[in-house]
């Protein structure tokens, strides 16, 4: 420690940076400049050295906390990492006063950040400091006048509780209890949201005696926004309690929440269902949660049904093995069947995103008999999102019954999505193509889907064309270069002669994407000539994309081709009449040089790991990304 | 008809809660209702005789019976169920509305709990979900309450009841209590503007008649606003609540209690930060001005608050702020003006030079306001130096000719006001700019030095440069 402070004293040339100048910076009239200064607060502290940071900077910060919330947010964040700058853990309590003020401001994000920082530095307090400095702060916040400080206090109990004496522990419990029945709902919400966390650090006896009564009270609060937070706490509390206590201590409240009159609370139960299920164990699940889940799946609010539908797979998966199949078949599946024809598309699409997962749980026969009709129905759903969700999860079914069972229905669904009027839908289906191709196999793909993939290349929306090129790359990764050479490359290169310049550019984009996966041979022999020829295109956009492509495929080419074929063309483009073409030609040329120079430096100077490179060289790396540098070195 | 009534409404068909986008596609004016009901049995009410058809002594008894019948709540999302009974309830409610308006001596003590119960059963409910991400109150049609045909009459009845000459708050306060008010306030989040309008009247009457509830109501409105500002940014009834508050503030006794001042500074001012400010800005500005008219000493904290939350990226909001500020300046006392003129005109100077012409224009309009002009004139030695640089610069640079013309007028006004100072400022304009630039450069150098120091240190720490 001593060493550290000596160091700061020795090289922080104090006379150069009078605190007044630095404080002037923090006070600048321009908010943006003030914000910048605050973000560099650590630099200022470093310049001042630990002692003056403690005695001058921190008091200043504590006194002048009236600023834009954005500045305060940055300050709250900075202070969480300030321990070393004030002289290490033995001085960390100096940071408490400014953070305490920040924890009382109105703006939630600032307050939350201050609490986060306080939680962080609480760990750096010794047990003694925690009782002398930290815990009194928590107490002050907990009994603050305005709700903001009480709200902040809620997040601090659990970090100090485990490390203080039993008398202080009793006080902390008392404070928490008080806040749980605070008369502002904001504070009750804060307390409710920290209830689970606090329960975890309490001794089991106190969980039973204190926490349960608080939990029950919060779960029947008059405001639904408080009640729903108790549901979250329910998970932690149930996990902590021994099985035999759950029925009496937790279940009455949970049952009540699942049937709450507010849909928000029921939604929360549905949303946390898997966690609840794990927390209460298999017996209670069988007796209580199964009927509750059925009710949620049939809830009158679509929001609740959708949340429950999302959990169908996970719930079934986690059912006790001995009765899993019976429960699913007799209790869950009938509800699921109804949801397939729900009136609300969000419910259907939530279901579609998980329903396929049931097949692994139920096995082949049940899947074919019961689930397959549902899959097929959803594949024909009027809402594209539902169909997409089914298609995107085909892998689960593939493992159980093989995708062939579905392929007859699959194809029309895919084709329809591929031609959907909404480009986002088309985009989504493109993203699943590689997955589908992998499962359906190369023959099926060539026969049915290849044309679709090529058609996307001339879609009138750029995002689709872009995704289509990326898709081709992934397909080649799956099916290999030879397949590419026979099926894709000729068609792509053919587009180079298309009268529409957008399509000609697509050829270039495809080449950019494909050159690496296709390898040097195909790139040099088939693609490069086409690219070079396009450098004479009459549309400037095409020409500068030639320059970009050459830069991009450069690493795949051998040095001979680079020297004899690429270089002359780039030099020619460098003299183009169009400004942009020139620019990108120069980029391509200089980009290569940089590659080489970095390569050189890396080898010769052996500077060690990249992070340690002197700033000068790193900043001159220009456009090269690290991955490219490395591949250069390997070659 | 009867067959429709006997078929139990299937629970799954009762779906009025689908998301906006879906609903929109199907029907233009969407409706929603949220009555959590698990039973789907048809409802049967035994028709009762009309109140006017029975002798006066029997009327109170019958009145109670009718109130009890009206506690039955129907499902309006299912347009086919219980048609006959819905119509029966509607006509009964209508009858009750008329009855409380014209009759005398009907309000027995037993009637109070029954009225409150009937109203509670009908109006208190969990509001249906709205897709707050998608829903834009300015653009989208609100979702209307499906059960409005009954609900409207219940509200109408309740208001007549509260306004009736026989109404005695001392009896009613047993039933219209804090819990009742709390639930009433939650309903202000209703998306249906018709309902919020009725609620406004109801709450206003309750506030007026139940002195014991006033502090509680104010506190709960506080909580709603704070939650709205700092937690959800979503609450439909802000404008209505502010409207009620406007009249409440009007009635505050002087000197203002600390509680009220805190409400102004910690709740009303932060309300300006909310994204949907335009929906309730008029009401909010009204409340603020009411406060300042009560106690001019509050001007400084209010203006400082507005300056603190001044919008940085939203020009529309900036224009609203400028409008509100002008309203405040209209009533400001000269002594208060002196206290805040510096920060205030620094902000106005920034607005005047805003590249968004509506902002610049709105700020420049201040110079058309005679009272503001007189204040500026009195304090021209302070205001002019603050404003001068911006005005001088945009008189040469602003892209919009209308703004340039307005700026010329302002400069001219300043010149007439204080020509010596004006000439001085013109003369030193260049050197001032140079001084600023120099200062800027010094700042940069300072930071550079600091960064070098940090860099050196981190290199040393990593052992790259030997110590």
pLDDT in tens, B315-354: 999 999 999 999 999 999 999 999 999 999 999 999 998 9
B463 by Cβ neighbours in 10 Å (0-12 / 13-18 / 19+) ranks as exposed
Yes or no, beta carbons of A302 and B15 under 8 Å apart:
yes
A128 by Cβ neighbours in 10 Å (0-12 / 13-18 / 19+) ranks as exposed
d(CA B243, CA B204): 10
Long-range contacts of the stretch B261-269 (C-beta < 8 A, 24+)? B261/B295, B261/B298, B263/B218, B263/B222, B264/B288, B264/B291, B264/B298, B264/B301, B264/B302, B265/B301, B265/B302, B265/B305, B266/A106, B266/A146, B267/B222, B267/B225, B267/B226, B267/B229, B268/B225, B269/B302, B269/B305, B269/B306, B269/B309
Residue A460 in this model has a pLDDT that exceeds 50: yes
What residue of A is the nearest CA neighbor of B274?
Answer: A107
- Determine the pLDDT at residue A117: 95
Q: Is A24 on the interface with B (CB under 8 A)?
A: no
Can you give the C-alpha Rg of chain B in angstroms?
Answer: 31
B40 by Cβ neighbours in 10 Å (0-12 / 13-18 / 19+) ranks as middle
d(CA A52, CA A14): 9
Contact between residue B383 and residue B373 where contact means Cβ atoms under 8 Å apart: no
d(CA A561, CA A96): 66
A507-562, pLDDT tens digit by residue? 999 999 988 888 888 888 888 999 999 999 989 889 989 998 988 888 888 888 88
B145 strand-pairing partners? B32
B32 strand-pairing partners? B145
Confidence of residue B458 (pLDDT cuts 50, 70, 90): low
- Which of A396-400, B443-447, B458-462 shows the lowest per-residue confidence on average (mean pLDDT)? B458-462
Confidence of residue B40 (pLDDT cuts 50, 70, 90): low
B-proximal residues of A, 40-59, CB under 8 Å? 40, 42-44, 46-47
Q: Is A107 on the interface with B (CB under 8 A)?
A: yes
Confidence of residue B462 (pLDDT cuts 50, 70, 90): low
Average pLDDT for residues B49-59, to the nearest whole number?
A: 84
Average pLDDT for residues A570-594, to the nearest whole number?
A: 82
Confidence of residue A66 (pLDDT cuts 50, 70, 90): low
φ, ψ for residue B31, nearest 5 deg: -125, 155
- Determine the pLDDT at residue A593: 47
Residue A272 in this model has a pLDDT that exceeds 90: yes
Q: Considering only CB atoms, which chain B residues are within 8 Å of A17?
A: 446, 449-450
Exposure string for A40-71, b = 16+ CB within 10 A, e = fewer: bbbbbbbbbbbbbbbeebbeebbeebebbbbb
**Vertex B292, ends B289 and B296: CA angle to 5°?**
155
Who contacts A387 (Cβ-Cβ below 8 Å, separation ≥6)? A352, A378, A379, A380, A381, A413, A416, A417
What residue of A is the nearest CA neighbor of B11?
Answer: A300
Average pLDDT for residues B43-69, to the nearest whole number?
A: 85
B380-396, pLDDT tens digit by residue? 889 988 988 888 888 88
- Determine the pLDDT at residue A558: 81
d(CA A491, CA B101): 83
| Pairing, β B144-145 against β B31-32 | parallel
Residue B439 in this model has a pLDDT that exceeds 70: yes
Who contacts B128 (Cβ-Cβ below 8 Å, separation ≥6)? A263, A301, B16, B17, B32, B33, B34, B143
Contact between residue B244 and residue B204 where contact means Cβ atoms under 8 Å apart: yes
Can you give the C-alpha Rg of chain A in angstroms?
Answer: 32
Compute CA distances B131 → A87, B136, B145, whole Å: 50, 9, 16
Residue A620 in this model has a pLDDT that exceeds 60: no
Q: State how far Cα B386 lies from the chain centre.
A: 34
Yes or no, beta carbons of A302 and B456 under 8 Å apart:
no
Residue B39 in this model has a pLDDT that exceeds 80: no
Average pLDDT for residues A135-139, to the nearest whole number?
A: 93
Locate B202 and state its tokens. 């109801």
How many CB contacts within 8 angstroms connect chain A with chain B? 104
d(CA B411, CA B254): 42
A161-208, pLDDT tens digit by residue? 999 999 999 999 999 999 999 989 999 999 999 999 999 999 999 999
- Determine the pLDDT at residue A162: 92
What residue of A is the nearest CA neighbor of B464?
Answer: A612
Contact between residue B142 and residue B32 where contact means Cβ atoms under 8 Å apart: no
- Determine the pLDDT at residue B134: 56
Q: What is the dihedral of CA A575, A579, A583, A585, to 10 degrees?
A: -40
Average pLDDT for residues A570-580, to the nearest whole number?
A: 88
Yes or no, beta carbons of B129 and A263 under 8 Å apart:
yes
- Determine the pLDDT at residue B206: 95
| Position with higher pLDDT, B405 vs A621 | B405
Average pLDDT for residues A338-364, to the nearest whole number?
A: 89
d(CA A95, CA A78): 11
- Determine the pLDDT at residue B75: 82
B186-209, pLDDT tens digit by residue? 999 998 999 999 999 999 999 999
Tell me the percentage of chain A whose pLDDT exceeds 90: 37
Q: For tokens 């203002």, what's the residue?
A: B256
- Determine the pLDDT at residue B33: 54
Q: Considering only CB atoms, which chain B residues are within 8 Å of A189?
A: 231
- Determine the pLDDT at residue B85: 86
Locate A447 and state its tokens. 């026969």
Locate B191 and state its tokens. 């998306």
Strands (E), A304-399: none
Yes or no, beta carbons of B266 and A106 under 8 Å apart:
yes
Q: Considering only CB atoms, which chain B residues are within 8 Å of A41?
A: none
Q: H/E element holding B32?
A: strand B31-32
Yes or no, beta carbons of A343 and B179 under 8 Å apart:
no
Yes or no, beta carbons of A344 and B223 under 8 Å apart:
no
d(CA A478, CA B28): 48
Q: 3-state class of A59 per DSSP?
A: helix
Contact between residue B373 and residue B419 where contact means Cβ atoms under 8 Å apart: no
| Position with higher pLDDT, A100 vs A617 | A100
- Determine the pLDDT at residue B228: 93
Yes or no, beta carbons of A302 and B37 under 8 Å apart:
no
d(CA B356, CA B444): 29
Taking all residues of chain B, what is their mean pLDDT, rounded to a whole number? 84
Confidence of residue A624 (pLDDT cuts 50, 70, 90): very low
Alpha helices in B27-141 (DSSP H): 59-69, 83-102, 111-123
Substitution target from A17, A146, A343, A611 for chain B, most B beta carbons within 10 A: A343
Residue A141 in this model has a pLDDT that exceeds 90: yes
Yes or no, beta carbons of B454 and A300 under 8 Å apart:
no
Yes or no, beta carbons of B270 and A106 under 8 Å apart:
yes
- Determine the pLDDT at residue B180: 95
Q: What is the dihedral of CA B417, B423, B424, B429, to 10 degrees?
A: 110
Q: Considering only CB atoms, which chain B residues are within 8 Å of A298?
A: 11-12
φ, ψ for residue A350, nearest 5 deg: -65, -45
d(CA B184, CA B203): 8
| Position with higher pLDDT, A354 vs A420 | A354
Yes or no, beta carbons of B450 and A68 under 8 Å apart:
no
Residue B9 in this model has a pLDDT that exceeds 70: no
d(CA B32, CA B442): 63
Our CA-based measurement puts residue A7 at a distance from the nearest CA of chain B, in whole angstroms, of: 10
Q: Considering only CB atoms, which chain B residues are within 8 Å of A345?
A: 18-19, 22
Tell me the percentage of chain B whose pLDDT exceeds 70: 87
The candidate with the shortest Cα–Cα distance to B241, out of B231, B254, B255, B227, is B227
Confidence of residue A48 (pLDDT cuts 50, 70, 90): confident
Average pLDDT for residues B79-94, to the nearest whole number?
A: 86
| Position with higher pLDDT, A114 vs A615 | A114
Confidence of residue B376 (pLDDT cuts 50, 70, 90): very high
For chain A, the first-to-last Cα distance in angstroms comes to 48
| Position with higher pLDDT, A507 vs B453 | A507
Confidence of residue A25 (pLDDT cuts 50, 70, 90): confident
A375-421, pLDDT tens digit by residue? 888 888 888 888 888 888 877 777 777 766 677 777 787 888 888 88
- Determine the pLDDT at residue A118: 95
Compute CA distances B41 → A477, A551, B5, whole Å: 61, 74, 9
Yes or no, beta carbons of A11 and B456 under 8 Å apart:
yes
Taking all residues of chain A, what is their mean pLDDT, rounded to a whole number? 83
Give me the half-sphere count of Cα atoms (radius 13 Å) on the Cβ side of residue B106: 27
What residue of B is the nearest CA neighbor of A298?
Answer: B12
Nearest to B14 among A225, A300, A303 (CB): A300
Confidence of residue B126 (pLDDT cuts 50, 70, 90): confident
Yes or no, beta carbons of A44 and B450 under 8 Å apart:
yes
Q: Considering only CB atoms, which chain B residues are within 8 Å of A21?
A: 446
Our CA-based measurement puts residue A132 at a distance from the nearest CA of chain B, in whole angstroms, of: 32
Substitution target from A26, A50, A106 for chain B, most B beta carbons within 10 A: A106
B-proximal residues of A, 140-169, CB under 8 Å? 146-147
d(CA B453, CA B34): 64
- Determine the pLDDT at residue A18: 62
What residue of B is the nearest CA neighbor of A66?
Answer: B308
Yes or no, beta carbons of B266 and A343 under 8 Å apart:
no
Alpha helices in A311-344 (DSSP H): 312-317, 321-327, 333-340
Residue B271 in this model has a pLDDT that exceeds 60: yes
- Which of A71-80, A576-585, A601-610, B293-302 shows the lowest per-residue confidence on average (mean pLDDT)? A601-610
- Determine the pLDDT at residue A381: 86
Nearest to A186 among B34, B227, B457 (CB): B227
Q: State how far Cα A33 lies from the chain centre.
A: 31
- Cis before B391 (ω within 30): no
């Amino acid at each position: 420690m001593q060493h550290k402070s000596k160091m700061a004293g020795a090289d922080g040339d104090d006379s150069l940076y009078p605190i007044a100048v630095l404080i002037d910076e923090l006070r600048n009239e321009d908010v943006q400049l003030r914000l910048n200064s605050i973000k560099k607060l650590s630099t200022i502290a470093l310049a001042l050295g630990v002692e003056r940071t403690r005695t001058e900077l921190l008091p200043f910060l504590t006194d002048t906390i009236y600023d834009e919330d954005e500045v305060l947010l940055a300050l709250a964040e900075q202070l969480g990492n300030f321990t070393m700058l004030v002289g290490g853990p033995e001085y960390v309590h100096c940071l408490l006063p400014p953070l305490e003020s920040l924890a009382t401001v109105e703006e939630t994000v600032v307050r939350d950040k201050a609490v986060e920082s306080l939680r962080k530095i609480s760990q750096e307090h010794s047990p003694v400091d925690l009782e002398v400095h930290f815990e009194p702060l928590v107490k002050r916040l907990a009994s603050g006048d305005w709700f903001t400080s009480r709200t902040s206090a809620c997040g601090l109990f659990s970090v100090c509780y485990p490390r203080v004496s039993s008398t202080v522990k009793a006080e902390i419990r008392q404070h928490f209890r008080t806040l749980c029945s605070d008369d502002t709902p904001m504070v009750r919400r804060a307390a409710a949201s920290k209830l689970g966390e606090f329960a975890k650090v309490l001794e089991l006896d106190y969980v039973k005696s204190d926490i349960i009564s608080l939990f029950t009270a919060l779960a029947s609060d008059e405001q639904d926004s408080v009640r729903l937070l108790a549901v979250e706490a329910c998970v932690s509390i149930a996990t902590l309690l021994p099985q035999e206590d759950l029925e009496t201590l937790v279940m009455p409240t949970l049952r009540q929440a699942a049937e709450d009159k507010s849909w928000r609370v029921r939604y929360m139960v549905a949303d946390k269902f898997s966690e609840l299920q794990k927390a209460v164990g298999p017996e209670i699940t069988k007796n209580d949660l199964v009927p509750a889940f059925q009710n949620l799946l049939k809830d009158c609010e679509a929001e609740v049904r959708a949340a429950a539908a999302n959990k169908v797979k996970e719930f079934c998966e986690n059912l006790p093995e001995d009765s899993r199949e019976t429960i699913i078949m007799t209790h869950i599946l009938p509800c699921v069947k109804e949801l397939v024809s729900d009136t609300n598309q969000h419910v259907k699409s939530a279901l579609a995103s998980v329903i396929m997962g049931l097949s692994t749980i139920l096995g082949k026969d049940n899947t074919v008999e019961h689930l397959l009709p549902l899959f097929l129905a959803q594949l024909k759903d009027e809402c594209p999102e539902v169909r997409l969700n089914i298609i995107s999860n085909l892998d689960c079914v593939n493992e159980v019954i093989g995708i062939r069972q579905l392929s007859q229905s699959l194809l029309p669904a895919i084709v329809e999505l591929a031609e959907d009027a909404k480009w986002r839908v088309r985009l989504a289906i493109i993203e699943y193509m590689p997955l589908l191709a992998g499962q359906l196999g190369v023959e099926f793909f060539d026969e049915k889907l290849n044309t679709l993939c090529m058609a996307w290349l001339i879609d009138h929306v750029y995002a689709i064309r872009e995704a289509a090129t990326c898709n081709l790359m992934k397909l080649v990764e799956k099916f290999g270069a030879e397949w590419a050479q026979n099926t894709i490359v000729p068609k792509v290169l053919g587009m180079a002669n298309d009268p529409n310049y957008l399509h000609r550019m697509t050829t270039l984009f495809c080449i950019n994407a494909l050159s690496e996966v296709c390898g040097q041979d195909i790139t040099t022999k088939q693609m490069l000539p086409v690219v070079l020829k396009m450098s004479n295109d009459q549309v400037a956009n095409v020409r500068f994309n030639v320059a970009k492509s050459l830069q991009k495929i450069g690493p795949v080419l051998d040095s001979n081709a680079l020297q004899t074929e690429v270089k002359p063309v780039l030099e020619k483009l460098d003299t183009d009449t169009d400004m942009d073409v020139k620019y990108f030609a120069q980029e391509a040329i200089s980009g290569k040089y940089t590659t080489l120079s970095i390569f050189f430096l890396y080898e010769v100077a052996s500077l060690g790991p990249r992070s340690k490179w002197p700033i000068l060289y790193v900043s001159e790396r220009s456009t090269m990304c690290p991955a490219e540098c490395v591949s250069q070195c390997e070659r | 008809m009867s067959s429709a009534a006997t078929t139990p409404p299937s629970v799954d068909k009762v779906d009025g809660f689908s998301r906006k986008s879906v609903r929109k596609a199907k029907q233009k004016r969407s409706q929603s209702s949220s009555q959590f009901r698990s039973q789907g049995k048809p409802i049967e009410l035994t028709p009762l005789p009309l109140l006017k058809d029975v002798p006066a002594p029997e009327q109170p008894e019958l009145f109670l019976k009718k109130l009890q019948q009206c506690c039955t709540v129907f499902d309006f999302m299912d347009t086919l169920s219980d048609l006959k009974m819905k119509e029966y309830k509607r006509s009964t409610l209508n009858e009750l509305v008329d009855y409380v308006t014209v009759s005398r001596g009907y309000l027995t003590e037993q009637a109070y709990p029954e009225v409150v119960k009937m109203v509670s059963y009908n109006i208190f409910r969990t509001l249906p979900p709205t897709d707050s991400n998608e829903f834009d109150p300015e653009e989208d049609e609100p979702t209307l309450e499906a059960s409005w045909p009954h609900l409207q009459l219940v509200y109408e009845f309740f208001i007549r009841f509260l306004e009736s000459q026989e109404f005695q708050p001392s009896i009613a306060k047993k039933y219209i209590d804090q819990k009742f008010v709390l639930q009433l306030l939650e309903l202000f989040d209703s998306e249906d503007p018709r309902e919020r309008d009725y609620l406004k009247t109801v709450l206003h009457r309750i506030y007026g008649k139940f002195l014991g509830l006033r502090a509680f109501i104010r506190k709960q409105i506080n909580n709603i606003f704070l939650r709205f500002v700092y937690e959800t940014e979503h609450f439909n009834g802000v404008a209505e609540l502010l409207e009620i508050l406007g009249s409440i503030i009007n009635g505050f006794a002087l000197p203002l209690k600390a509680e009220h001042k805190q409400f102004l500074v910690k709740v009303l001012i932060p309300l300006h930060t909310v994204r949907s400010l335009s929906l309730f800005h008029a009401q909010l500005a009204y409340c603020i001005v009411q406060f300042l008219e009560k106690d001019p000493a509050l001007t400084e904290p209010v203006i400082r608050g507005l300056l603190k939350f001044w919008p940085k990226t939203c020009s529309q909001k900036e224009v609203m702020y400028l409008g509100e500020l002008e309203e405040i300046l209209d009533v400001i006392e000269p002594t208060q003006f002196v206290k805040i003129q510096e920060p205030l005109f620094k902000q106005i100077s920034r607005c005047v030079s805003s590249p968004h012409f509506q902002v610049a224009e709105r700020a420049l309009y201040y110079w058309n306001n005679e009272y503001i002009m007189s204040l500026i004139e009195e304090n021209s030695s302070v205001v002019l130096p603050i404003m001068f640089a911006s005005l001088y610069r945009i008189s040469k640079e602003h892209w919009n000719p209308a703004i340039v013309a307005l700026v010329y007028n302002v400069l001219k006004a300043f010149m007439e006001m204080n020509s010596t100072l004006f000439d001085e400022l013109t003369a030193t304009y260049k050197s001032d700019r140079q001084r600023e630039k120099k200062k800027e450069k010094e700042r940069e150098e300072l930071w550079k030095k600091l960064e070098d120091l940090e860099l050196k240190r981190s290199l040393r720490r990593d052992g790259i440069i030997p110590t």
